[in-house]
Structure 1
Amino acid sequence: MIPLLRPSILLTLRLPVVSSLRQPLASSARSFSSFRTSSSVLSTLHKQTSKPFSSTFFRSSRTLLTDSAPVVARPSPSEAWRRYAITAVTVAGTVVAVNVFFNRETRDALSLDERSYLHESFQYTGVGLALTAVAARTMFKNGLAFRIMAANPWAVLGISLVGSIGTMMGAMYTAPENKLLKHAFWLGFNACQAATLSPLFFVSPAILSRAALYTCGVVGSLAYVGATAKTDKYIYLGGPLLAGVTVVALSSLAPMALPLGLRGLAITEAVSLYGGLAVFGGFVLYDTQKILQHGRMVGTGAMAADPIRESIGLELDMINIFIRLVQILSRSKDRKK
């Protein structure tokens, strides 16, 4: 559940650099927000589509493509390339615009230590997300997603929290020298993420693809902004972002614990969706500059290199952004019907 912030911990939030206690609190809150939001989406999907599940689940030929409506008309090659070009120009323009807006004063080029540590951290992030996606797809095909949706949401939420937070803490606090155990915890963390996210494959593949593309664009542009900003410009965001993610997690929990009316439900859902999108976008900026700061410390010998620990925060950021984009795109599609 949401960790209680004691007064001693609240005092540490005012420090300019995040202490060792703040990172697990933020990671735990981010994990809870991810699981609760995913559980909310999947419970809604289960209620809307519970009848056809029993017949479609046992089809041996079920694939990702058979879950969506058939394609009526495919775009011509010229039209497809035109769409790709528009998307590429839009993404590039967004990166430039965001960089100009946030980074009116940029820093010098990254040092070798910063560049190497940032590259290694993003490598682990990419590999971890790829493993999570493959494992989630495998669990979906094996029927685990159906069993998760048919189970008690509170039990699923509790098991997901215990498993994911436990393996996350193990991966973060195992010494980098103990590579075997550290990688085992890291693989367990990605497996728990995959089990939680596997029911998302019931959503239309077109929505999942667009959400994944948008997530890469958002995270890529914000990471570029964080890497080119002046040194430690966004480190101060640690305290406010921790408070923001706590509010987002509580707004996700409110519909399950409080008797809210339609207006109250709409408000909490908006806070969870759009507020969460803003908060986790800020976490991408913060985590990127934190990695650069740690890279400088590794270069001076002040701390040991631990890219796995750095990658976990980035993974949680991307997963939370992806889930919210899936919800927003699904709502937009429903309103057009």
Structure 2
Amino acid sequence: MLRSNAFSLLHSFKTPLQFSTRQSSRNFSSFRPNAFASFSKRPSLASFVSKNARTIFTDSSAVVARPSQQEGWKKFAITSATVAGAVVAVNVVLNRETRDGLTAAEQSYLHDSFKYTGGGLVLTAIAARSLFKSGFAFRVMSANPWLVLGVSLVGSIGTMMGAMYTSPENTVLKHTFWLGFNACQAATLSPLFFFAPAILSRAALYTCGVVGALSYVGATAKNDTYLYMGGPLLAGVTVVALSSIAPMALPLGMRGLAIAEAISLYGGLAVFSGFVLYDTQKILQHARMAQAGLIPADPIKESIGLELDMINIFVRLVQILAMQQGRKK
């Protein structure tokens, strides 16, 4: 289930720079060599930092023409209406047959899982921002990418497996692994703050809309409607992973690189959106099994899958928005 983003954040700046379960392969798909493809035409990290990003040592921003307050609210209203319309459309298309309602046990288990998901994302965002301000992101981009990738994989996989398979009764150790997992995610995601805040905020809004709509569909659909998607999604994430590493292993031309990039970006966005549906219904299935005494209730374990789904969707939306902004210039 480990779906971190270390390699994609390192290789994109041209520096010289999971695995026993279905969830392990889902993470590897985000180790993409072109995550910052929108900046690939810039000659160096130094010129990128000096011309296009805030300095890594301060929070100062480049002087740009800011839109008026009225224009800002207009754009916000249009964006909000678009997200709301997408939520309604997704619900109409995918959720034509709804269930009568969630039982109290299902509601409680789903709420607990989403609480840990939200808490983990908040901790990850705060830690990533702190690491960026401290200059950690710059040092990561300047380091040996293979070393960083190895350390990231070991740390992320270890903490993830510890959080997933530690008994829920061992509360302290389980929460320690969970905090460590979020810290590893923060370290690999901290270079995202090189992007403009407007791109990050839009990507976060879109991610909330996508995940909110799909999780609502999964929670209100009839039992096990989308659990059949596990196999196809595993195949899809394998294709996404291969397309992510293909430019490193194969002598692809420009057209081949463009195709691999599109599969990794848009294919990955579709695959991880499908995982939101699948994971939501899996949580409800586990809630029924826990109520029957077949398995222990473990919302932390359930939250990790959803958290990684959201991170992968967010990262891809950031890349897509950055590419669109680059074309407008």
- With the length of structure 2 as denominator, give the TM-score of the two structures: 0.88
The aligned residue for residue 240 of structure 2 is 248
- Aligned partner of 2:214 among 213, 217, 222: 222
Percent identity, aligned pairs only?
68
Distance 1:325 1:110 in 2: 31
Structure 1: unaligned runs, 5 residues or longer: 3-21
Aligned pairs, number: 311
The aligned residue for residue 202 of structure 1 is 194
**Amino acid in the other structure paired with 1:225:** V
The aligned residue for residue 264 of structure 1 is 256
Taking only aligned residues, the RMSD between alpha carbons, in angstroms, comes to 2.4
Structure 2: unaligned runs, 5 residues or longer: 3-17
- In terms of fraction of residues, the more helix-rich structure is 1
The aligned residue for residue 96 of structure 1 is 88
The aligned residue for residue 62 of structure 1 is 58
Q: 1:169 to 1:61 in 2, by over 3 A?
A: closer
Distance 2:37 2:265 in 1: 16
The aligned residue for residue 143 of structure 1 is 135
- Aligned partner of 2:35 among 41, 51, 67: 41
Distance 1:105 1:54 in 2: 51
**Does the 8 A contact of 1:26 with 1:245 survive in 2?**
no
**Does the 8 A contact of 1:167 with 1:185 survive in 2?**
yes
Give yes or no for the alignment of 1:105 onto 2:101: no
Distance 2:241 2:287 in 1: 30
Distance 2:193 2:227 in 1: 36
The aligned residue for residue 26 of structure 1 is 22
**Does the 8 A contact of 2:28 with 2:241 survive in 1?**
yes
- Aligned partner of 1:75 among 51, 68, 80: 68
What SS does the aligned partner of 1:176 have? coil
The aligned residue for residue 275 of structure 1 is 267
Distance 1:26 1:302 in 2: 21
1:242-264 CA distance string (max 9 Å, x none): 11111111110111122111111
What SS does the aligned partner of 1:224 have? helix
**Does the 8 A contact of 1:164 with 1:193 survive in 2?**
yes
The aligned residue for residue 114 of structure 1 is 106
Distance 2:202 2:20 in 1: 31
**Does the 8 A contact of 2:38 with 2:323 survive in 1?**
no
Q: 1:186 to 1:303 in 2, by over 3 A?
A: same
**Does the 8 A contact of 1:27 with 1:316 survive in 2?**
no
What SS does the aligned partner of 2:45 have? helix
**Does the 8 A contact of 2:124 with 2:183 survive in 1?**
yes
Distance 1:148 1:45 in 2: 17
**Does the 8 A contact of 1:43 with 1:149 survive in 2?**
no
Compute the displacement of 1:81 (Å). 3.9
- With the length of structure 1 as denominator, give the TM-score of the two structures: 0.86
The aligned residue for residue 165 of structure 1 is 157
